[in-house]
Amino acid sequence: MKRIVILFSGQGSNMLRIIEEVKKHKDIEVVAAITNKKEAEGIQRLKPYDIALNIISHKDYDSREEFDQELVNRINYYKPDLVVLAGFMRILTPIFTQNIKSINLHPSMLPLFKGAKAIEQSYANADKPAGISVHWVSEELDGGSVIAQKELPRIEGEAFESFKNRIHLLEYELLPHTVVRLLQ
């Protein structure tokens, strides 16, 4: 059995898509989810599932390193084959990146628009490609090698909300399929 641990900070909509996709595969399971936010909306969405939930608030730790060490300990407890960052909004230290093999979802065509405002920046820069990336997590923020990408065709005059929704729809396809592909 291949084991997945998912990290999230907010809505958890991508986490849900992974959980649903993995259900179709008897040899893969999501064993745990970890969030750094007590109030993350994704916590409620996990209720129907038999998946261990861990809330580790970064506010309870004095440094990034101490928080990351606790994350590493908790992740290793579940002995995952793959760790997926699905909307996990933390800058990670080498304590995490050197000890955990993980992938991250990012809402732009990396290396374009790294960081927390990727959708806004992609939207504003209509001369550059928009899309999404799944990449290996490395020490450099949003800088690890790309595993899969999907470009979003531009629609002239499109409103930001519509653009953002289409980015999310692309994510719901690419991330679950990439997770399964990496484990098979």
Find the catalytic residue in 25, 58, 106, 177.
106
The residues that bridge with 4 in the sheet, in sequence order, are: 30, 82
How many whole angstroms separate alpha carbon 96 and alpha carbon 24? 30
CB of 128 to ligand GAR, least distance (A): 17
Pick the binder of ligand GAR from 87, 131, 144, 176 (CB under 6 A). 87
How many whole angstroms separate alpha carbon 173 and alpha carbon 57? 30
Instruction: With contacts defined by CB under 6 A, name the span among 3-11, 22-30, 75-83, 94-102 that binds ligand GAR.
Output: 3-11
106 is catalytic: yes
Pick the binder of ligand GAR from 2, 3, 11, 69 (CB under 6 A). 11
CA distances from 3 to 19, 29, 51, 80, 84 (A): 12, 5, 12, 5, 11
Pick the binder of ligand GAR from 34, 46, 100, 105 (CB under 6 A). 105
Instruction: Give the residue among 159, 149, 89 at the shortest CA–CA distance from 123.
Output: 159
Contact residues for ligand GAR (CB under 6 A)?
A: 8, 10-14, 86-87, 105-107, 116, 118, 168, 171
Q: Hey, which residues are catalytic here?
A: 106
